């Protein structure tokens, strides 16, 4: 049924507007990230928001929750099945292969933008959400694992985020993981009577996730299950220990969590998550891992790779929880224009000032109104100064300059002198 006629106009469920009052926090996050990535030698890549459905099925895994029930999939007018990207890695890997960027080359890239998953929205979980994503291709050793984690740690620190816990684990090679998975299925199948409904379902698709269960009645069976660490081969162990040594050396604290498995099939070796307990139930703020098999699996030349993604909405909310809201950007000058003669020349004067002061933020009052209401607006804008143009000033070709943040007498300036005086006062701090 069409409910649009009886419901107020709303965005699609789980998709949010970022309002002018919130945008400062987004810009701060994105600009800090962009500057930091450049200092580590990572370059931006931009890829489509839509890809062929098969790309996500083959990379994320047919049996994962994301592919089975969370994708926005549709047919284009030509009959192709396309999907709104539920995560960034698949598209970036595809772009690497499509453009031949991995041919005897290493790549360090980052990407930011919206992702889409058809989930039931709740705190920290939306149908359209935004990630900042970092990937490195062609590096096999644990040094790049360490670099990527150091990069994430520095970014989180620079954003002012506190009290995060870094969880780490190694899944080993695809082969060792496969052997372990079979052992788990054997174990849990032998204890089927003790499994709850969720775990029985996972037994078919993703038995590793049974280890994650929060059901208290499950803890006993889980405690007796085989441990992944015991199935790691020697090279996997060495890789993981190498990573830990690098992290120890720079003093990054971590917790090795053998239960950390991640929900995407392509991960191998290192996986990690930065966790908070200050956002309700969606505690993962940044997470990622190595995916050495994915490039080859998608048809590229076999290339080791690793990456992580952080959730912008979650990070912004966490910053707000810990430090309060980001103040909005204020103009430098609020230009009060009152009276018919003033209105006739006000915009022209403002344009002249902008010619001479290209970096100064001048907000002109449009739409008339009393001096009182315009001054009130000037105050609320957060501007340091008000320029005051009434009919009497317009007649004499002068403009009033009033300091709004400190006690100081209002002065009158000839139009020709206004820009120079403003420049002087604004640089005085």
Partner RNA sequence: GUGGGCGUAGCUCAGCUGGUAGAGCCCCGGAUUGUGAUUCCGGCCGUCGUGGGUUCGAAUCCCAUCGCUCACCCCA
Applying the rule CB under 7 A, the residues between 353 and 392 that interact with RNA are: 369-373, 375-380, 386, 388, 390-392
Q: Which of 37, 42, 110, 129 binds RNA (CB under 7 A)?
A: 129
- The DSSP element (H or E) to which 189 belongs, if any, is helix 174-190
Choice between 42 and 272, CB closer to RNA: 272
Compute the least distance from the CB of residue 5 to RNA, in Å: 8
Q: Which of 97, 148, 166, 286 binds RNA (CB under 7 A)?
A: 286
- How far is residue 102 CA from its own chain's centroid? 26
Q: Does 203 bind RNA (CB under 7 A)?
A: no
Q: Does 264 bind RNA (CB under 7 A)?
A: yes
Compute the least distance from the CB of residue 406 to RNA, in Å: 8
- Residues numbered 300 to 329 that lie near RNA (CB under 7 A) are 309-311, 313-314
Q: Does 30 bind RNA (CB under 7 A)?
A: no
Contact region for RNA (CB under 7 A) — 152-160, 181-189, 275-283, 415-423?
Answer: 275-283
Compute the least distance from the CB of residue 93 to RNA, in Å: 14
Contact 54, 90 (CB under 8 A): no
Choice between 36 and 242, CB closer to RNA: 36
Q: Does 280 bind RNA (CB under 7 A)?
A: yes
d(CA 66, CA 87): 9
| Token pair listed for 396 | 């004499």
| Token pair listed for 373 | 């209401």
- Bridge partners for 402 per DSSP: 386
Compute the least distance from the CB of residue 245 to RNA, in Å: 25
Q: Does 35 bind RNA (CB under 7 A)?
A: no
- Residues numbered 70 to 99 that lie near RNA (CB under 7 A) are 70, 87
* Count, residues near RNA per rule CB under 7 A: 72
| 3-class DSSP state of 102 | coil
- The DSSP element (H or E) to which 4 belongs, if any, is none
Q: Which of 58, 94, 108, 262 binds RNA (CB under 7 A)?
A: 262
Compute the least distance from the CB of residue 107 to RNA, in Å: 20
Q: Does 120 bind RNA (CB under 7 A)?
A: yes
- Bridge partners for 338 per DSSP: 390
- The DSSP element (H or E) to which 20 belongs, if any, is none
Q: Which of 135, 292, 332, 393 binds RNA (CB under 7 A)?
A: 393
Compute the least distance from the CB of residue 100 to RNA, in Å: 27
Cβ contacts of residue 418 below 8 Å, gap of 6+? Answer: 349, 353, 387, 399, 401
| Token pair listed for 32 | 């800090």
Q: Which of 108, 117, 239, 246 binds RNA (CB under 7 A)?
A: 117
Residues in the chain: 429
Contact region for RNA (CB under 7 A) — 228-236, 273-281, 325-333, 349-357?
Answer: 273-281
- Residues numbered 132 to 191 that lie near RNA (CB under 7 A) are none
Choice between 191 and 377, CB closer to RNA: 377
Compute the least distance from the CB of residue 77 to RNA, in Å: 27
Q: Does 202 bind RNA (CB under 7 A)?
A: yes
Contact region for RNA (CB under 7 A) — 19-27, 42-50, 183-191, 205-213?
Answer: 205-213
- Residues numbered 209 to 238 that lie near RNA (CB under 7 A) are 209, 212-215
Q: Does 331 bind RNA (CB under 7 A)?
A: no
Directed axis angle between helix 53-60 and helix 89-98, to 10°? 110
d(CA 307, CA 99): 19
Contact region for RNA (CB under 7 A) — 96-104, 186-194, 236-244, 395-403?
Answer: 395-403
Q: Which of 123, 157, 237, 323 binds RNA (CB under 7 A)?
A: 123
d(CA 201, CA 210): 9
């Amino acid at each position: 049924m069409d409910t649009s006629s009886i419901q107020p106009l709303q965005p699609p469920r789980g998709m949010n507007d970022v309002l002018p009052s919130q945008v400062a926090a987004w810009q701060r996050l994105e600009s800090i990230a962009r500057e930091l990535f450049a200092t580590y030698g990572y370059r931006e890549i931009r890829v489509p928001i839509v890809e062929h459905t098969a790309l996500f099925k083959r990379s994320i895994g047919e049996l994962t929750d994301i592919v089975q029930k969370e994708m926005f999939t549709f047919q284009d007018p030509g009959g192709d099945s396309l999907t709104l990207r539920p995560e960034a890695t698949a598209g970036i890997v595809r772009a690497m292969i499509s453009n031949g960027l991995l041919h005897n080359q290493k790549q360090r890239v980052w990407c930011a933008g919206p992702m889409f998953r058809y989930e039931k929205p709740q705190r920290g979980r939306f149908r359209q959400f935004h990630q900042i994503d970092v990937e490195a291709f062609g590096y096999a050793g644990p040094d790049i694992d360490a670099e990527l984690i150091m990069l994430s740690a520095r970014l989180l620190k620079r954003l002012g985020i506190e009290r995060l816990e870094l969880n780490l684990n190694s899944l080993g090679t695809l082969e060792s993981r496969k052997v372990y998975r079979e052992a788990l299925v054997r174990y849990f199948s032998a204890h089927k009577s003790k499994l709850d409904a969720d775990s029985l379902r996972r037994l078919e698709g993703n038995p590793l996730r049974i280890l994650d269960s929060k059901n208290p009645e499950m803890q006993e069976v889980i405690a007796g299950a085989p441990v992944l660490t015991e199935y790691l081969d020697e090279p996997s162990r060495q890789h993981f220990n190498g990573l830990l040594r690098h992290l120890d050396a720079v003093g990054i604290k971590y917790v090795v969590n053998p239960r950390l498995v991640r929900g995407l099939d392509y991960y191998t070796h290192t996986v990690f998550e930065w966790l908070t307990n200050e956002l309700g139930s969606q505690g993962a703020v940044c997470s990622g891992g190595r995916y050495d098999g994915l490039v080859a699996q998608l048809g590229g030349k076999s290339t080791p790779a690793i990456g992580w993604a952080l959730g912008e909405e979650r990070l912004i909310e966490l910053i707000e929880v810990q430090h309060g809201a980001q103040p909005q950007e204020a103009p430098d000058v609020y230009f009060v224009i009152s009276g018919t003669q003033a209105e006739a020349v006000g915009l022209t004067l403002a344009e002249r000032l902008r010619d001479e002061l290209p970096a100064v933020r001048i907000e002109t009052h449009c739409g008339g109104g009393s001096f009182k209401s315009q001054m009130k607006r000037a105050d609320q804008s957060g501007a340091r100064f008000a320029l005051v143009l009434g009919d009497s000033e317009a007649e004499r070709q002068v403009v009033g300059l009033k300091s709004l943040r400190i006690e100081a007498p209002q002065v009158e300036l000839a139009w020709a002198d206004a820009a120079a005086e403003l420049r002087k006062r604004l640089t005085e701090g």
